[in-house]
Chain A
Amino acid sequence: MFDRAGMILPLVLYLGFIMGIAFWGNTFSRKKSDTAGFMEEYFIGSRSMGGFVLAMAVITTYISASSFVGGPGVAYKMGLGWILLSMIQVPTAFLTLGVLGKRFALIARRTKAVTITDFLRARYNSDYVVIAASLALLVFFMASMLAQFIGGARLFESITGFSYQTGLFIFGITVIIYTTVGGFRAVVLTDTIQGVMMLFASVALLFTVTSAGGGVSNIMDTLRSIDPDLLTPGGAGNSIPKPFILSFWVLVGFGILGLPQTTQKCLGFKDSKSLHNAMVIGTFVVGFVMLAMHLIGAMGRAVIPGIEIGDLAVPTLTVKLMSPFWAGIFIAGPLAAIMSTVDSMLIMCSAAIVKDLYFHYIAKNDPERLPPSKVRSMSFTVTCVVGVIVFFAAMKPPSLLVWINLFAFGGLEAVFFCPTLFGLYWRKANSTGAILSMITGCAAFFWFNITKTSIAGTTAIVPTLLISVIAFITGSYLGKEEKPEIIEIFDL
């Protein structure tokens, strides 16, 4: 029916281009001849991100398969109400960068922090906090990466008609190689290009769907004749009640201040001008992609009705409405969203293992014990091995990891939200509070989800964050204030 080769060609060219950037990024880490210098380059790109790159790095890490496939699929079923929900994410970039950016950047430079865990170590001076943070990060990131891989491979399968394994192989191997070779610098540079790709892809499909439906007014008329509730904020069958949608102001609203994959980017920008520009650019781009993709889903119902499985809405619209060449361009959009989420997590897993755990606990922070040549080969190996483990897991997904992924997003917030924010802004914050909030937050999140307990119609993240905040404050009053040197470095 459609030309598979014609579709795959733009994609292969695109992936080749991404690889090229990684090898260029590699030349930077080659120049570093000391252990600390290498780690600062490989794991944070020597803090060189400018405004545009920072904006793209933050939002592409945040925008994942769910914004390109899952979310629009739900909008297809529920209508405009789900777009309203997705717009809660518009402030993602300015909230993260605005609240954390400047203080984080200053303190990271004072303490030479490369990872979020470095920051927590400097603030709380506690091995328990560091180890809990590293473990939470590794487990939740690996589960999320797996889910992204599975989502990407399924999408590839449904659009191109090639097998699940072929798709997984093509983009899985690409992302592992470029992240391993190029480190953080390659991650953020490719994220920038992936972000532009996402913009193009969403514009192209939005245009296609709108014109196939005969314009917005026509589409809205058709939707009203299918089900008038598709046009309401409550959604079809009033399935988006207020307490439910308001919970998302926590989960994908201010709760994102806890997500280490986006907050870590605040350690890596060049100067304050970059930060300012990134806030504006990031907000514009993330809002645009969210609005366009979810509109595509909701309006798609009027153009091609009767798609039973929500996740198939965007792939079906793409294949039926676009020529193979354009479909090939479009699929690069969601794959870009997936790869740019995975690469950040992959490099952070590697940093957690090499820097936060190995270099600190086994090499005792002594560059003699981890000379430049060794840290280089070790970093490359760890990045690659973590990627390959996830890759093989995605071949035949283990149910435990798939299950854990359901808790990854909220779980990361439950663990990192309080220690990050309070540590940055509250003088009395201490390790007792941090460890207490990390453990009770994580436990509460699992408990509320597993027992499906809902407080006043909200989702699990709302009581969870409340509990972790209470735990943090209680613990901090019970424990002792951190040393005056620390308070001074953090300017509290």
Chain B
Amino acid sequence: MKNSAIMKTAKKETFIVLALYVLFFAWWYVTAYGFGDDPSEYSYILGFPEWFFYSCIVGYVGVSFLLWICVRFFFKEIDLEEQKEGEKNV
């Protein structure tokens, strides 16, 4: 079927999205729990505890940016209206 190519593209993009999701999870987990859990030893960045700054703020900004890059460079435009013998959407 001629449209399988389109579906293959869609599948590849799904993997990119899932990879990004796993990456976001890993970053979230490692930065949230990797800085020790004694509040008296915390250091602070822009007023926020280090773990919070990295996991919640950098994590959010970072994943948004990576997503933008991925979408821009790896995601393909496809034609959703596959015109088949005169069949048109209402």
Contacts and interface: CB of A to CB of B under 8 A. Distances in A.
Interface string B1-24: 101101101100110111011001
A266 B25 CA distance: 24
Contacts of B18: 99
A102 B44 CA distance: 43
A319 B5 CA distance: 57
A273 B67 contact: no
A253 B24 CA distance: 11
A313 interface: no
Contacts of A99: 14, 17-18
Interface in B2-54: 3-4, 6-7, 9-10, 13-14, 16-18, 20-21, 24-25, 28, 32-33, 37, 39-40, 42, 44, 46-49, 51-52
B57 A40 contact: no
A340 interface: no
Contacts of A109: 80-82, 89
A220 B48 contact: yes
A12 interface: no
A106 B83 CA distance: 12
A interface, over-half SS = helix
B47 A216 contact: yes
A417 B80 CA distance: 24
Contacts of A218: 47
B67 A94 contact: yes
Nearest to B4: A491
A224 interface: yes
Interface residues of B, number: 50
A91 B7 contact: no
A106 B79 CA distance: 9
A284 B64 contact: yes
Interface string B49-79: 1011001110110011001100100011111
A80 B63 CA distance: 20
A91 B63 contact: yes
Interface string A220-246: 100010001101111000000010000
A47 interface: yes
B71 A276 contact: yes
A367 B59 CA distance: 52
Interface string A94-129: 110011001101100110000000000000000000
Contacts of A216: 46-48
Contacts of B56: 80, 83-84, 87, 291
A80 B32 CA distance: 11
B13 A102 contact: yes
A136 B13 CA distance: 31
Residue with the highest number of chain B CB atoms closer than 10 Å, among A37, A40, A228, A284: A284
A330 B49 CA distance: 28
Interface string A185-228: 00000000000000000000000000000011111100010001
A370 to B, nearest CB: 16
A215 B44 CA distance: 13
Contacts of A94: 17, 20-21, 67
A491 B3 contact: yes
Contacts of A83: 52, 56
Contact of B21 (A34, A91, A280): A91
Contact of A234 (B24, B37, B46, B79): B37
Residue with the highest number of chain B CB atoms closer than 10 Å, among A46, A84, A228, A229: A84
Contact of B3 (A80, A106, A280): A106
Interface string A1-37: 0000000000000000000000000000000001011
B82 A254 contact: no
Given A87-B28, A103-B7, A228 B82 contact: no
A368 B51 CA distance: 64
B47 A215 contact: yes
Interface of B: 1, 3-4, 6-7, 9-10, 13-14, 16-18, 20-21, 24-25, 28, 32-33, 37, 39-40, 42, 44, 46-49, 51-52, 55-57, 59-60, 63-64, 67-68, 71, 75-82, 89-90
Interface of A: 34, 36-37, 40, 46-47, 80, 83-84, 87-88, 90-91, 94-95, 98-99, 102-103, 105-106, 109-110, 215-220, 224, 228-229, 231-234, 242, 249, 253-254, 271-273, 276, 279-280, 283-284, 287-288, 291, 488, 491
Given A95-B17, A232-B37, 6 more contacts: A46-B90, A84-B32, A91-B20, A102-B78, A233-B51, A284-B64
17 contacts: A46-B90, A80-B49, A80-B52, A87-B60, A90-B64, A95-B17, A102-B13, A102-B78, A217-B44, A231-B39, A242-B33, A272-B78, A272-B79, A273-B77, A279-B71, A287-B64, A491-B1
